[in-house]
Amino acid sequence: MDIVNAAFYDHFVNPRNVGVVEDPDGVGKRGDPDCGDFLVVTIKVEDEAIADIRFLCKGCSAAIATSSAMTELVKGERLDTAMRVTPAMIEEEVGGLPEEKRHCSLLGADALKEAVADYVSRKEEIERDRNASKGE
Protein backbone atom coordinates (compact mmCIF):
# COMPACT_ATOMS: atom_id res chain seq x y z
CA MET A 1 0.00 0.00 0.00
CA ASP A 2 1.32 3.41 -0.96
CA ILE A 3 0.32 5.57 1.99
CA VAL A 4 1.39 9.14 1.41
CA ASN A 5 -0.14 11.09 4.32
CA ALA A 6 -3.08 11.26 6.72
CA ALA A 7 -5.58 12.63 4.16
CA PHE A 8 -4.67 9.90 1.68
CA TYR A 9 -4.90 7.21 4.34
CA ASP A 10 -8.28 8.47 5.55
CA HIS A 11 -9.78 8.38 2.04
CA PHE A 12 -8.31 4.91 1.46
CA VAL A 13 -9.50 3.22 4.68
CA ASN A 14 -12.74 5.24 4.95
CA PRO A 15 -13.73 5.92 1.35
CA ARG A 16 -16.72 8.20 0.95
CA ASN A 17 -19.64 7.64 -1.41
CA VAL A 18 -18.89 4.03 -2.31
CA GLY A 19 -21.54 2.17 -4.27
CA VAL A 20 -23.94 2.88 -7.11
CA VAL A 21 -26.59 5.59 -7.29
CA GLU A 22 -29.97 3.97 -7.77
CA ASP A 23 -31.46 4.91 -11.15
CA PRO A 24 -28.52 7.18 -12.04
CA ASP A 25 -28.85 10.19 -14.31
CA GLY A 26 -25.31 9.67 -15.61
CA VAL A 27 -22.64 6.96 -15.64
CA GLY A 28 -18.93 7.29 -16.32
CA LYS A 29 -16.36 4.49 -16.63
CA ARG A 30 -12.61 4.68 -16.92
CA GLY A 31 -9.76 2.22 -16.87
CA ASP A 32 -9.50 -1.42 -17.77
CA PRO A 33 -11.61 -3.90 -15.76
CA ASP A 34 -9.45 -6.83 -16.85
CA CYS A 35 -6.04 -5.50 -15.84
CA GLY A 36 -5.36 -2.46 -13.74
CA ASP A 37 -7.41 0.28 -12.17
CA PHE A 38 -11.08 0.52 -13.15
CA LEU A 39 -13.58 3.12 -11.95
CA VAL A 40 -17.35 3.49 -12.36
CA VAL A 41 -19.00 6.76 -11.31
CA THR A 42 -22.77 7.23 -11.08
CA ILE A 43 -24.52 10.54 -10.46
CA LYS A 44 -27.97 11.85 -9.60
CA VAL A 45 -28.62 15.40 -10.79
CA GLU A 46 -31.12 17.88 -9.34
CA ASP A 47 -31.39 21.51 -10.45
CA GLU A 48 -28.23 21.09 -12.56
CA ALA A 49 -26.18 20.11 -9.49
CA ILE A 50 -24.78 16.77 -8.37
CA ALA A 51 -27.24 15.71 -5.68
CA ASP A 52 -25.59 12.31 -5.22
CA ILE A 53 -22.46 10.63 -6.52
CA ARG A 54 -21.14 7.13 -5.92
CA PHE A 55 -18.18 5.15 -7.14
CA LEU A 56 -16.98 1.58 -7.50
CA CYS A 57 -13.26 1.09 -7.93
CA LYS A 58 -11.07 -1.88 -8.61
CA GLY A 59 -7.52 -0.79 -8.11
CA CYS A 60 -4.68 0.28 -5.89
CA SER A 61 -4.88 2.40 -2.76
CA ALA A 62 -4.26 5.58 -4.77
CA ALA A 63 -7.14 4.81 -7.16
CA ILE A 64 -9.51 4.28 -4.23
CA ALA A 65 -8.35 7.34 -2.28
CA THR A 66 -8.51 9.69 -5.27
CA SER A 67 -11.93 8.38 -6.31
CA SER A 68 -13.26 9.05 -2.81
CA ALA A 69 -11.72 12.53 -2.80
CA MET A 70 -13.19 13.34 -6.21
CA THR A 71 -16.71 12.53 -4.97
CA GLU A 72 -16.23 14.80 -1.97
CA LEU A 73 -15.06 17.65 -4.19
CA VAL A 74 -18.15 17.60 -6.42
CA LYS A 75 -21.06 16.38 -4.31
CA GLY A 76 -23.57 19.22 -4.14
CA GLU A 77 -21.72 21.29 -6.75
CA ARG A 78 -23.24 22.60 -9.95
CA LEU A 79 -22.41 20.61 -13.07
CA ASP A 80 -20.32 23.40 -14.58
CA THR A 81 -18.21 23.51 -11.42
CA ALA A 82 -17.84 19.72 -11.37
CA MET A 83 -16.66 19.75 -14.98
CA ARG A 84 -13.78 22.04 -13.97
CA VAL A 85 -12.37 19.56 -11.44
CA THR A 86 -8.85 18.65 -12.48
CA PRO A 87 -6.54 15.78 -11.56
CA ALA A 88 -4.39 18.32 -9.72
CA MET A 89 -7.36 19.35 -7.56
CA ILE A 90 -8.09 15.72 -6.73
CA GLU A 91 -4.45 15.07 -5.95
CA GLU A 92 -4.36 18.09 -3.66
CA GLU A 93 -7.44 16.78 -1.82
CA VAL A 94 -5.50 13.63 -0.84
CA GLY A 95 -2.39 15.60 0.09
CA GLY A 96 -0.38 14.66 -2.97
CA LEU A 97 0.65 11.47 -4.71
CA PRO A 98 3.93 9.87 -5.71
CA GLU A 99 4.76 10.46 -9.39
CA GLU A 100 4.01 6.85 -10.33
CA LYS A 101 0.45 7.14 -8.89
CA ARG A 102 -0.54 10.50 -10.34
CA HIS A 103 -2.49 8.80 -13.15
CA CYS A 104 -5.07 7.71 -10.54
CA SER A 105 -6.35 11.28 -10.14
CA LEU A 106 -6.86 11.43 -13.91
CA LEU A 107 -9.04 8.31 -13.69
CA GLY A 108 -11.47 10.09 -11.34
CA ALA A 109 -11.57 13.35 -13.29
CA ASP A 110 -12.23 11.54 -16.57
CA ALA A 111 -14.93 9.22 -15.16
CA LEU A 112 -16.68 12.24 -13.60
CA LYS A 113 -16.64 14.14 -16.89
CA GLU A 114 -18.00 11.07 -18.68
CA ALA A 115 -20.83 10.74 -16.13
CA VAL A 116 -21.80 14.40 -16.61
CA ALA A 117 -21.60 14.05 -20.40
CA ASP A 118 -23.83 10.96 -20.16
CA TYR A 119 -26.36 12.96 -18.12
CA VAL A 120 -26.35 15.79 -20.69
CA SER A 121 -26.79 13.31 -23.53
CA ARG A 122 -29.71 11.60 -21.79
CA LYS A 123 -31.33 14.97 -21.04
CA GLU A 124 -31.00 16.06 -24.68
CA GLU A 125 -32.51 12.76 -25.85
CA ILE A 126 -35.49 13.23 -23.52
CA GLU A 127 -35.99 16.77 -24.88
CA ARG A 128 -35.82 15.51 -28.50
CA ASP A 129 -38.37 12.80 -27.72
CA ARG A 130 -40.63 15.29 -25.96
CA ASN A 131 -40.46 17.72 -28.88
CA ALA A 132 -41.06 14.92 -31.40
CA SER A 133 -44.17 13.78 -29.54
CA LYS A 134 -45.48 17.36 -29.64
CA GLY A 135 -44.89 17.47 -33.41
CA GLU A 136 -42.20 20.11 -33.22
- What pLDDT was estimated at residue 2? 54
Q: Which pTM value belongs to this model?
A: 0.90
Domain 6-133 top-level CATH class? alpha beta
124 sits in which H/E element? helix 103-133
Q: Which of 21, 69, 85, 104 is catalytic?
A: 104
List the beta bridge partners of residue 55.
Answer: 18, 41
Torsions phi, psi of 79, nearest 5?
-60, -40
Q: Which residues contact 114 (CB under 8 A, 6 or more apart)?
A: 27, 28, 29, 30, 41
Closest C-alpha among 78, 80, 76, 102 to residue 90: 102
Q: How far apart are CA 1 and CA 9, in angstroms?
A: 10
The full set of domain ranges for the chain reads 6-133
- What pLDDT was estimated at residue 130? 78
- What pLDDT was estimated at residue 136? 63
35 given a catalytic annotation? yes
- What pLDDT was estimated at residue 3? 58
7: left (phi over 0), alpha (psi -120 to 50) or beta: alpha
- What pLDDT was estimated at residue 84? 97
60 given a catalytic annotation? no
**Alpha carbon 85 to chain centroid, angstroms:** 10
Work out the widest C-alpha separation in the chain, in whole angstroms.
Answer: 59
Q: Which of 22, 23, 35, 132 is catalytic?
A: 35
Angle, CA of 2, 36 and 42, to the nearest 5°: 95
Task: Tell me the mean pLDDT per 10 residues along the chain, length 136.
Answer: 78 97 97 87 98 96 96 97 96 92 92 97 86 75
